[in-house]
A and B are shown apart, each in its own frame.
Chain A
Amino acid sequence: MPHPSHQPVAVLRGVKKSYIEVDRTREVLHGIDLELARGEFAVLVGRSGSGKSSLIHVLSGIDMPTEGQVLLFGEDMSRASEERRTDMRRRKIGLVFQFFNLLPTLTIEENLLLPLELCGTLDAAGRRRALDLLDAVGLADLRAKFPDRLSGGEQQRAAVARALVHDPELVLADEPTGNLDDHNAHAVLDLFTRLLRPSGKTLLMVTHSAEAETIGDRVLELHDGRLGPRTRSARA
Chain B
Amino acid sequence: MISLLSRASLRYLSRHPAQLVLAILGVAVGVAVVVGIDTAGASARRSFELATRALSGSATHVVRGTPSVPEEAYARLALESGLPPAAPVVQRSLALVSPANRTLDLLGVDPFAEGPFRAYTSASEGFDGAALLRGDGAWLSRATASELGAQLGDELVFLVGSQRRSVRLAGLVEPQGELASAALADMVLVDISTAQSLLGARGQLTRIDLALPENGPERAAALARIATLLPKGCAVEPASRRSEALSGMTRAFDINLRALGFLALLVGVFLVYNTMTFAVVQRRPLWGTLRSIGATRGELFRLVCAEALAIGALGTGLGLGLGMLLAQALVKLVTQTINDLYYVVSVRELSLEPEVFAEAAALGIGATLLGAMFPALDAMRTAPRAILDRAAAESRLRARIGWLALAGALAGAASIALLKASGQNLPLGFAALFLMLFAAALLVPAATTLLCRVVVPIAGALAGSLGRIATRGVTSHLARSSVAIAALAIALSATAGMGILVDSFRSTVVRWLDTTLVADVYISSPSTFSNRESAVLSDELVARMSSDSRVRGTTIFCDIDLELADGGKVFATAAALHPKSRDAYRFLAGDPGRIWPAFSERDTLIVSESLARHRSLEPGSMLSVRTANGVRPFEVLGVFRDYSSDQGWAMLSRETWLRGWNDPRISALGLFLEPGSDVDAAIATLRSAVPEGEIVKVRSGEELVAASMEVFDRTFSVTRVLRLLAGVVAILGVVGALLAMELEREREMGVLRAIGLSPGGLKRVVLGQTGLLGALAGLFAVPIGIAVAVVLILVINARSFGWTLDIQISPRVLAETFAIAVLSALIAGAYPARRMARLSPAQTLRGE
Contact = CB atoms under 8 A, between A and B. Distances in A.
A110 B476 CA distance: 15
Interface string B807-848: 000000000000000000000000000000000111101101
B116 interface: no
A91 B842 CA distance: 19
Main secondary structure of the interface of A (DSSP, over half): helix
Contacts of B466: 117
Contacts of A174: 848
B547 to A, nearest CB: 83
Contact of B842 (A62, A83, A90, A117): A62
A148 B845 CA distance: 19
A98 B848 contact: yes
B121 to A, nearest CB: 72
Interface in A116-136: 117-119, 122
Contacts of A83: 758
Pick from A54, A91, A110 the residue with the most CB of B within 10 Å: A110
A115 B472 contact: no
Interface string B731-770: 0000000000000000110011111111101000000000
Nearest to A146: B476
Contact of B752 (A54, A82, A103, A122): A103
A97 B844 CA distance: 13
B702 to A, nearest CB: 59
Interface string A120-160: 00100000000000000000000000001000000000000
Interface in B710-740: none
A92 to B, nearest CB: 10
B757 A118 contact: yes
B468 A162 contact: no
B753 A110 contact: no
Contacts of B843: 63
Given A104-B748, A110-B465, A113-B465, A62 B845 contact: yes
Given A53-B846, A62-B840, A162 B755 contact: yes
Interface string A33-63: 0000000000000000000011001001011
Interface string B608-649: 000000000000000000000000000000000000000000
Nearest to A112: B465
Main secondary structure of the interface of B (DSSP, over half): helix
A73 interface: no
Contact of B753 (A86, A87, A99, A105): A86
Given A57-B845, A98-B848, A148-B391, A89 B468 contact: no
Interface string A211-227: 00000000000000000
B465 A106 contact: yes
Given A103-B469, A105-B476, A118 B755 contact: yes
B261 interface: no
Nearest to B755: A115
Contacts of A110: 465, 468
A174 B847 CA distance: 13
Contact of A105 (B473, B757, B758, B848): B473
Contacts of B469: 103, 105-106
Given A118-B755, A148-B391, A106 B846 contact: no
B317 to A, nearest CB: 32
A218 to B, nearest CB: 25
A57 B464 contact: no
A86 B756 contact: yes
A60 B842 CA distance: 10
B848 A117 contact: no
Interface in A147-188: 148, 162, 174
B354 to A, nearest CB: 47
Contact of A101 (B758, B842, B845): B845
B747 to A, nearest CB: 7
A88 to B, nearest CB: 9
Nearest to B394: A148
A83 B754 CA distance: 12
A29 interface: no
Contacts of A122: 464
Contact of B756 (A98, A101, A113, A118): A118
B619 to A, nearest CB: 66
Contacts of B465: 106, 110, 113-114, 117
Given A98-B848, A106-B468, A62 B754 contact: yes
8 contacts: A53-B845, A82-B758, A98-B848, A105-B473, A113-B465, A114-B465, A115-B755, A118-B755
Interface of B: 391, 464-466, 468-469, 472-473, 476, 747-748, 751-759, 761, 840-843, 845-846, 848
Interface of A: 53-54, 57, 60, 62-63, 82-83, 86-87, 89-91, 95, 97-99, 101, 103-106, 110, 113-115, 117-119, 122, 148, 162, 174
Given A53-B848, A118-B757, 12 more contacts: A62-B754, A62-B845, A82-B759, A99-B848, A101-B751, A101-B845, A103-B469, A115-B755, A117-B466, A118-B761, A119-B756, A122-B464
Q: Which 6 A-B pairs have the closest CB atoms?
A: A90-B756, A63-B842, A105-B472, A57-B842, A62-B841, A101-B751
